[in-house]
Copies of this chain bind each other. A is one copy, B any other.
Amino acid sequence: MELSPESIRKQLDVWPVARLATQGLNGSPHQVPIVFVGLGDCLWSPVDGKPKRAGELVRVRNIRAHPTVSLLLDHYDNDWNALWWIRIEARARVLEPSEPRGDAAFQAALAALAEKYPQYEEVPLLQDSPTLLVFDTLQIRSWCASSSAA
In the complex, which residues of chain B have a beta carbon less than 8 angstroms from the beta carbon of A17?
74, 76
- A residues contacting B by CB (< 8 A) are 1, 16-17, 19, 21-23, 27-33, 50-51, 66, 68-72, 74, 76, 78, 80, 83, 85, 87, 89, 119, 123, 145
Q: How far is the CA of A28 from the CA of B67 in the complex (A)?
A: 9
Task: Give the interface SS of chain A, mostly helix, strand, loop or mixed.
Answer: strand
On whether A31 and B31 interact (CB within 8 A), knowing A51-B1, A76-B17, A123-B80, the answer reads yes
Asked if B16 contacts A76 (CB within 8 A), the reply is yes
Q: How far is the CA of A50 from the CA of B32 in the complex (A)?
A: 26
In the complex, which residues of chain B have a beta carbon less than 8 angstroms from the beta carbon of A70?
21, 28-31
In the complex, which residues of chain B have a beta carbon less than 8 angstroms from the beta carbon of A31?
19, 21, 31, 70-72, 87
